Structure 1
Amino acid sequence: MDKKKNMEMVGAVYELVSGFTRTKALNAAASLNIAQHIGENEKKSVNDIAKEIGANSQSLYRLMRALTHMKCFREEDVDEHQQHDQQQHGIFSHTPLSLALRQPEVRNIALMRGGYGQTQGWQNLVETIKTGQSDVNKTLGYPDYWAFLEEHTDEAAIFNNSLASVTNMLTPTLVSLGDYTKFETVVDLGGGLGKLLKGVLKQNANIKNGINFDIPSVIEKNQHEVDVDPRYKDQAGDFFVEVPAADCYVLKSILHDWSDAKCLEIFKTISKSIKPGGKVYVYDYINSLYTKNEKNFTPWNDLHMMVMLNGKERNEWDWQYLAEHSGFKIESVKRPEGQGFAPPLTIFTKQ
C-alpha cells in the first residue's frame, strides 16, 4: 500500500474508532435538552442557551461546534467584517437532525443508547467474543442488564420510555401487518407501557380482552389516560413461569433479548396457556444471511443484543430452530413496506 493510501486508511480508522465520542456527545445534547432551547426557526447565541440550561458557555460551545460536524445544529456564518470579534461567533440554529432531537421518540433513543448502562456494557465485547458468553457482572456489577435496571430506576425509566416512544411511532405499521380480527383475548408479553396493545385494541373492536403483561417493576409504574379502553388491563407476572390464557400472544422486540434456551422457555410457557387455534405474533428483525456487505443496522443491533443480554437478532434458520424445538411452526412472515425501521411479523402456530 502506498503512503497516500495508507494515510487515507489511518484517517478512516481514526474516524471509525472515534464513533463512541459522537455517541456520548449526542447523549449529552439529549440530556441537556439543548434542541428544545432553540426555536424551530430561531437563531440563538450559545451564551443564552447556556444560561437557560445552566451550563458553562465555553464548554457548551465546544460541544455544539463538534455536533455541527455531524449535521446536528448549524453555527451561523459571521459577516466578514466581524469575523475577528469572538463575541459574534456561537450563534446556532437547527438542522433536520437537531430538530428531530426535540421529539421524544428521537431524544429517548439518544438517552438510552448513549447512557451509562448501555455504553459500559460494551466494555465486555472482547471477552464475549472469546467465550461466546457476555458477563455484564464484570462491567455493570449486576448478574444481568435487567438487574441493573431494577436498581437504577432513572435508566429504567429512560429504557421504558425509549421503547414506548419507538413503538408508538411504529404502531400503525405493526398493527397493519397482523390480522387480529379473529381473536378474543390478546396478550402483549413484555408490553411495557402498553402502547402497542392500545393500538391493536383501537383497530379491532372484536377483541374482548387486552392484557399488557410485564414484570411488576414496570407494571406498577404504568400510568394511563383517563379514557383508556375498558378492554385494556395491566397484569404483572413472569413469562418464564406462567402467562394468561389467550388466543393471541404478541412479543415485540422481546425474543431478541434472550438466548435460544430462554426463548424456548418462553414458547413452552405460552404453549401451556394458548387456546386452540391460537397464534404467536413475533415482531423482531430477521438478520438475513442473504444480505452481505451492505449497510444494514441489524447486524449492529445483533452485536448489541449479544454483548448486553446474550441475545441475538435471528436469521431465518434461527427462527426455524426455535419453532421446531418448541412445538410450534412458522405459518408466515409479513414484512412492512416503506418502513425500513419497522421489524417484520413472524407468525407462529402450534404444530
Structure 2
Amino acid sequence: MAFARISPLTLDGLPKYLSLCYHRLIEHAMYTFAELNLADRLVHARPDQGMTVQEIMDGERSCWDPNFIYRLLRTCIDADIVQRVNDDQHFVLTESGRMLTSDHSSHSRDFVRWVLGPLFNNSMYQLPDLVRHKGAGSGMTRVTGGLNLYAYISQPGNQELASIFNGAMIATSMSTGTKLVSGINYDRFTTLVDIGGGSGTYLAQILEHYPSISCGIVFDLPSVINQTKDSEGFKSRMIPETKVKFISGDMFDSSTIPQADAYLIKHIFHNYNDEKCVIILSSIRQTNQNRLRKTINKGVYSRLYHFSW
C-alpha cells in the first residue's frame, strides 16, 4: 500500500470521497507507526545509512512480521514520517518523524495515539445509532460501560490510557496556547484556576506571559494531579513554585473547587451534554458567589466531533 506524497484534500465530486478515504488509510499507518513506537528505534539510525527492517526488528520486535513493517514504512514515507536512504530498503526518520519519539516535547505521539486510537474512534462509530435513538448515553459512555471519559481513564488498569490522554492535551495546549494567551488579557486577574488543567501547560504559558498574576492553580482529578504536580512546564519557564498550586477535586462538586478571580475551561464542555455543562458552571459560581469571572476556551472542536453528541 503506497501512494504518492499526500496531496491537499479534494472536496468535489467522486474524488472528494476517494481523497477523504485514502487519507484515512494514511492515518491508520501513522497510528500504527506511533503505537508500535518505531520512532524510538529509528531515531538511532545513522542519517547516511538508515536502518533496514531486519535491523529495526531487534529484541522484542524479532517476532514481528517483516513484510508488514516494510509496507508500513513505505506508507509512512507518503506522510513524510520516514524517508529512504541509499535504496528502498534503508529508512530514517524525517524531522517531523522525530516528533513521534516517546520523549519528544511536543507529545505528538500521544496526540496521534489518542485521536486515532480505538477508544476515541469507537465512540465516533456510535453516531448512527445515536441518531436512530438506539440505546442510551453518549458515544463515550456506550463504549466504556456507562462511564464518562474522565471516570474511565481514572479506572485501575487504564494508567497508560490516562497518560496518553494527558499527553494529547499537552499537545493541544501547546498548539493553541500562544494565540489564546496573546488574544485574551489575563493581566487583570490575580488568581487563576485552570479547570481540568492536566499538566498545566496552558496555565504555565499564561503565567510566563503575565508575571503580574500572583497565583495559578491547576485543578483536576486526583489521579491526574498525582501524576502532574511536578510538571516541567512551569520549571522550564522559570515560574516560581510559590506561584503555582496543584489541587485535586471534582468540577461537579463546588466544595472542592478553589476560589479565584477567573477560571479557564478548555476542551471540557464538548465531553458533556448541556445539563452537565450547566452543573459545572453552577459549581464554579457557587464556590465564588459574587467574585467570579469565567474564561471559556471551547477550542475548535464541536460537540458533534467529540463524544457527547
Which of 163, 166, 188 aligns to 2:169? It is 163
The size of the alignment, in residue pairs, is: 278
Which of 33, 40, 49 aligns to 2:37? It is 33
Residue 15 of structure 1 and its aligned partner are, at CA, apart by 5.3
Residue 107 of structure 1 and its aligned partner are, at CA, apart by 1.4
Residue 36 of structure 1 and its aligned partner are, at CA, apart by 3.6
Amino acid at match of 2:28: K
Partner of residue 84, structure 2:
75
Partner of residue 97, structure 2:
98
Going from structure 1 to structure 2, the CA distance change for 1:120 and 1:20 (only over 3 Å counts) comes to: farther
1:258-277 matched pairs, under 5 angstroms? 258-274=272-288, 276=290
Going from structure 1 to structure 2, the CA distance change for 1:36 and 1:44 (only over 3 Å counts) comes to: same
Q: Deviations over 1:143-167 (max 9, x none)?
A: 3333321222211110011102331
Matched, 1:134 2:138: yes
Partner of residue 51, structure 2:
44
Distance (Å, rounded) in 1 between the aligned partners of 2:21 and 2:69:
23
Amino acid at match of 2:308: L
The 3-state SS of whatever aligns with 2:71 is helix
Give unpaired runs (5+ residues) of structure 2: 1-11
Partner of residue 186, structure 1:
192
Partner of residue 315, structure 1:
none
Which of 198, 220, 227 aligns to 2:226? It is 220
Residue 252 of structure 1 and its aligned partner are, at CA, apart by 1.6
Going from structure 1 to structure 2, the CA distance change for 1:100 and 1:241 (only over 3 Å counts) comes to: same
Residue 32 of structure 1 and its aligned partner are, at CA, apart by 2.4
1:252-331 matched pairs, under 5 angstroms? 252-274=266-288, 276=290, 278-285=292-299, 298=301, 302-305=303-306, 308-310=307-309
Amino acid at match of 1:67: C
Give unpaired runs (5+ residues) of structure 1: 1-7, 79-88, 287-297, 311-351
Q: Is the 8 A contact 1:120 1:140 kept in 2?
A: no
The structure with the largest alpha-carbon Rg is 1
Amino acid at match of 2:192: V
- Structure with more strand by fraction: 1
Amino acid at match of 1:49: I
TM-score, structure 1 as length reference: 0.69
Distance (Å, rounded) in 2 between the aligned partners of 1:135 and 1:177:
33
Amino acid at match of 1:249: Y
Residue 264 of structure 1 and its aligned partner are, at CA, apart by 1.4
Partner of residue 178, structure 2:
172
Which of 66, 71, 74 aligns to 2:75? It is 66
Q: Is the 8 A contact 1:210 1:231 kept in 2?
A: yes
Q: Is the 8 A contact 1:105 1:169 kept in 2?
A: no
Residue 71 of structure 1 and its aligned partner are, at CA, apart by 3.7
Going from structure 1 to structure 2, the CA distance change for 1:138 and 1:210 (only over 3 Å counts) comes to: closer
Q: Is the 8 A contact 2:262 2:292 kept in 1?
A: yes
TM-score, structure 2 as length reference: 0.77
Q: Deviations over 1:15-38 (max 9, x none)?
A: 544655433321221122223433
Partner of residue 244, structure 2:
232
RMSD: 3.0
Residue 187 of structure 1 and its aligned partner are, at CA, apart by 0.9
Partner of residue 316, structure 1:
none
Q: Is the 8 A contact 1:198 1:229 kept in 2?
A: no
Residue 177 of structure 1 and its aligned partner are, at CA, apart by 1.7
Q: Is the 8 A contact 2:261 2:293 kept in 1?
A: yes
